[in-house]
Amino acid sequence: MFAKEEFFVYLHSIMKKKLKIVNKELYPFGFSHAEMRLLMMIYHADGCGQEELCSKMEVDRSNVGRALKNLENLNYVKRTKDTEDGRAYRVFLTEKGWAIRDTLFKIKSDIQKTFTIGITAQELNELANLLKKVDQSLCEENYLVIKNSDHNGSSVKQE
């Protein structure tokens, strides 16, 4: 198998394993990994705007809206109309939401530790730097350059 193919195979495998563990841990709470991410953001910015959450998570409004609706139905958060902008909502944690905070941070910490078992600090820094490069490379602009080039690397006119 070529290195590029292996990269994507391992990336996919890592994400599947992570989601399996996270979803098993979150099952008793009734929400998913995406909703946990949302709660983690709200723990750091209780009372923030729904639009701000969309922007920080880099997720569209409808996905954040559905996640918030589920968390609201489970009584972990409440949404209230923004007093300055009647069209916008502010998101607040409920007592139940605050009550699970330490447990969620423990789950997150345990998963992060599991990721790095057997990896030295130096290897972890190298990996983080490589993943940062991948993250920076993975943008629409670079994709369009690749998409519009032929196999020899020269650009092809877009029609």
pLDDT of 131: 92
**Lowest-confidence region among 11-20, 77-86, 145-154:** 145-154
Tens of pLDDT along 125-149? 999 999 999 999 988 899 899 889 8
Q: Do residues 100 and 28 share a domain?
A: yes
Q: Do 134 and 80 share a domain, yes or no?
A: no
Question: H-type helices in the chain, by residue range?
Answer: 3-26, 33-44, 50-57, 61-73, 95-99, 101-115, 121-137, 140-147
- Tell me: do 45 and 69 sit in the same domain: yes
Least confident of 20-24, 73-77, 106-110, 146-150: 146-150
Q: Are residues 133 and 110 in the same domain?
A: no
Q: Judge if 126 and 99 occupy the same domain.
A: no
Condensed to tens digits (0 to 9), the pLDDT of residues 59-68 reads: 888 999 999 9
The pLDDT of residue 150: 66
User: Domain range for residue 34?
Assistant: 3-115
pLDDT of 81: 87
The pLDDT tens digits for 7-54 are 899 999 999 999 999 999 999 999 999 999 999 999 999 998 888 888
Query: Residue 55 sits in a domain of what CATH number?
Result: 1.10.10.10
Query: Same domain, yes or no, for 12 and 54?
Result: yes
Strand pairing report for 89-93 and 77-81:
antiparallel
Tally the domains of the chain.
2
Listing DSSP states for 116-134 in one string gives TTT--HHHHHHHHHHHHHH
Q: pLDDT band at residue 74, thresholds of 50, 70 and 90?
A: very high
> Do 154 and 86 fall into the same domain?
no
Q: What angle do CA 23, 26, 27 make, to 5 degrees?
A: 80
Stretch (H or E) spanning 78: strand 77-81
Q: What pLDDT was estimated at residue 3?
A: 81
Among 33, 35, 53, smallest CA distance to 44 is for 53
